[in-house]
């Protein structure tokens, strides 16, 4: 239920901007029609915009609904393509939160995995990072870095990390460092279930320091060994 609620939240973010464009295009045509200044060129341009954005909305739904379709067999996946596709799903959310997303992905890495479950797990990690920034952090320092090197995927953010005293509990079900109203703490538990128990990948978390924007940053790093 928590995963479905979060997915609906993501879809809402993905739809907000295209719906705004569609509304503006339609409203603009109506106003110009009333003023008798609507020409063929603007009419065709506005209609094309509405059609293109409508297709985008439809594709978004098709993409998200496959996340919860059970995979019946392991597939060979080109990791770079998979990661880019996942990032496209949450692109609007990343931009709304003023987060800089940096990708450093090797081209030729392939793994054998359940595609939808793998996407769910990586999406959960990214959603945790986005939530971790909260409302009060300096927005010019917000960054999430995704690296794919030598069959190892790492995702690190600049959201200050987690207290070392409780770091070893992050994979427990219902454990969360946030207020209860913000979530039920299933994010990293689900990640471990999907990746470790279903696909035998090793998942590790640690607080990590790194340099970004000429400053030392600190955040949570989730590493997935894909061998």
Q: What does each C-alpha distance from 190 to 39, 138, 194, 206 come to in angstroms?
A: 54, 29, 6, 17
Phi, psi of 213 (to 5 degrees): 55, 40
The correct answer on CATH 3.30.565.10 for the domain covering 72-225 is: yes
- Asked if residue 102 lies in contact with residue 143, where contact means CB atoms within 8 angstroms, the answer is yes
User: pLDDT tens for residues 123-168?
Assistant: 889 988 888 887 655 677 899 999 999 899 999 999 999 888 888 8
User: pLDDT tens for residues 24-34?
Assistant: 889 999 999 99
User: pLDDT tens for residues 107-117?
Assistant: 889 999 988 88
How many other CB atoms are found less than 10 A from the CB of residue 104?
10
Q: CB burial class (10 A; 0-12, 13-18, 19+) of residue 6?
A: middle
Eight-class DSSP state of 147: E
pLDDT over 80 (residue 103):
yes
Please identify which residue in the block is written with the tokens 């339609």.
26
Give the integer Cα–Cα distance in Å for 145 and 42: 41
- Asked if residue 198 lies in contact with residue 209, where contact means CB atoms within 8 angstroms, the answer is no
Angle (deg, nearest 10), helices 79-89 and 40-65: 120
pLDDT over 60 (residue 47):
yes
Angle (deg, nearest 10), helices 115-132 and 79-89: 50
Give the integer Cα–Cα distance in Å for 148 and 13: 27
Looking at residue 144, its pLDDT comes to 96
Domain ranges of the chain: 2-66, 72-225
Greater model confidence, 173 or 39: 39
């Amino acid at each position: 239920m928590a995963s479905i609620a979060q997915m609906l939240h993501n879809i809402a973010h993905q739809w907000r901007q295209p719906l705004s464009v569609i509304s503006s295009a339609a409203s603009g045509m109506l106003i110009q029609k009333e003023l008798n200044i609507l020409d063929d060129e603007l009419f065709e341009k506005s209609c094309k915009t509405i059609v293109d954005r409508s297709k985008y909305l439809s594709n978004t739904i098709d993409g998200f609904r496959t996340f919860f379709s059970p995979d019946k067999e392991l597939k060979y996946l080109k990791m770079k393509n998979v990661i880019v596709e996942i990032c496209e799903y949450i692109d609007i959310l990343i931009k709304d939160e003023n987060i800089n997303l940096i990708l450093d992905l090797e081209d030729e890495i392939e793994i054998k995995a359940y595609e939808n479950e793998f996407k769910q797990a990586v999406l959960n990690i990214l959603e945790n990072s986005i939530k971790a920034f909260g409302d009060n952090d300096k927005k010019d320092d917000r960054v999430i870095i995704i690296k794919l090197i030598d069959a190892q995927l790492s995702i690190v953010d600049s959201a200050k990390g987690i207290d070392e005293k409780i770091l070893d509990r992050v994979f427990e079900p219902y454990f969360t460092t946030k207020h209860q109203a913000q979530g039920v703490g299933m994010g990293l538990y689900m990640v471990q279930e999907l990746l470790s128990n279903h696909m035998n990948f090793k998942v590790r978390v640690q607080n990590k320091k790194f340099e970004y924007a000429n400053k030392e940053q600190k955040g949570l790093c989730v590493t997935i060994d894909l061998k």
